[in-house]
Structure 1
């Protein structure tokens, strides 16, 4: 009896597989908007509540802390109960959290709501990474995972443009969260309709009705149903947290976590502080939001470029080169750009390299863990690594509050992505053929 995972890995992708990857990409785009919604709203929040940069840096980081917890806990849950129910649960959390954020009246309440929202975003990232990898064939896996990761800046571009419009129309930062809540809720029926449970999960975990669910998907994709499930691979039947640190996996887990941690520190400093920096230079909040949109335009182009290059060469050297160049671009952001055009250009370049590296890094993560550890492994890397994401905006706020110049802050926080590139260059790269 042939393993359905081998069939999926070998044969051309059916349009329903493409649809599932498309929804995973759209869900990551939703993550992109939800994460950066606080950045679009931050100038209005700071003005209305009169908070300083140190306090604002903490608010900007709260959902990143939640993302770390959510990726770690819900990522492992996705390996136990399935990718699909995890995604649906995360959508509910995100929609409720965004709606609640629009009602916040002080820093403490808003921080709590953003922490809650981050739980859903983190779990979503881990689950969608697994969906993109497991719904793709082996030939296109790098491409599909990188495209999925590229949804993040696309969400920030489209959502950011809409957020800037909404802010301009209403003048209230709360409207950004209200819009995000409604948009998130719309994806619940879309996921129920277009995203089946992955065959890799069903074969590995064998929940009740696994064969029927696999055959339903096989038939929908124009393939012959199975008479029975393939034999159980006893060596892969049970997975535990300790498996991430077993011989052969320990260095993979540790180096990927360090890479993600360090790179996210630089990436989220840039993405979270752009609007406030631009406003402090004398520009209106909608214009500041526009600079952030340009950063994500660069990010989207960078992720597409990484996707294309992944079909021509190994993805790891692409990511390493992007991180080294991202270090230069983030450091350059603080070096004397004072016109809107100049700020937009350097933000676009910074987004190109930092998000190109992020998109490629998700492909490296997906290929470095086998199916029974994939969502959980992604969750461990993202969960611990998100501490770096949270640390970036907080460090930026503390440095600014203590009078450190923008030029020096940019150089200091750009070093994270440099460290990430060095750590990734030390990783012994591996690639699993089917799951």
Structure 2
């Protein structure tokens, strides 16, 4: 169906047949239809492979650029991951240094705990408070801006986690302070006892934001930390401030395909990686491809090459279809001419055979007439003279002349019907002309 529609569309642009208006038998129209079909076939054979090749090149080059882009983003993500992991490890080491096994009694002194908090703030200004918690979850000593001494954390999830694993980092939350912050807690066993104590440090979420802002990325990139549940731990260029929800961030440690962001932000490429010993995931998003200029240039060149090939194929196919149609028509006309000549020759041969038959049929009665005429002449010679004898002689002579003329005619008919090989020989032109004149003298 599509091919028929294309043929009808193509027929509107092809010129009418150069041999003139269609004849009654529709020969010119058939040749025009043949030329259109031939042109369609040639275009299909030439353009379809070019289109397939262009499509393969398009997708192959696109995949190559995307692979290069992903590798570059993964390399950037790996560097950012190492930077953030170094921060977390350093915070862990700082707190872990405080909770040595022999310092439990010392840490119960509020002045000592205050001194430790001052030292931590000197290194990281984001530290808010410190607290020593026993195995029952009761905060024995507290250093900070709030009155939390004696507060019981036994029912909170993070307390069970730190007792089980020895180290715990929480998600960013508001809590009692109503300010975004996160908690780092380290547990240690008491000397000569099975009891465990916990040092809990509260750190403002701004510490993460300030540190992640130092990571070198382009202005169009977006790098942020998100929890496993998709809640932002730092602000995001695309998804808002901390504590808001990221709809496209999933817990994983691999590269994602290109995703479509909401709010008309366009296509981005997202990579993510887990941060060890934390419930966080580092996410890096890039709005535009690194090789955007190369990709645009390649697409333009590919389109131009395909259009050039298509135009070339169209010109060549049109020329070939026109030439082949003309050649086929010339061949058909020559064949028709040969068939006409052969038919004419067959007619002449039939006439020759008819003439031979007529000549034979005439010769038989002519022989009888000639014989009887001779007999009459002999009998007349043996007869005595009578009044009309000379008149009879004249009639017999007339009959003899007519018979002779008929014999000449039948002889010529037999010569016309006789098949003779064409040979070169010398002739006497006067005799040939005289013979022709004698043959045609009665028609003059």
TM over 0.5, shorter chain:
no
Larger radius of gyration between Structure 1 and Structure 2: 2
Of Structure 1 and Structure 2, which has the larger fraction of its residues in helix? 1
Which structure exhibits the higher relative contact order, with contacts defined as CA atoms closer than 8 Å and separated by 6 or more residues? 1
The interval holding the TM-score normalised by the smaller chain is under 0.3
Of Structure 1 and Structure 2, which has the larger fraction of its residues in strand? 2
Q: State TM-score, norm by structure 2.
A: 0.19
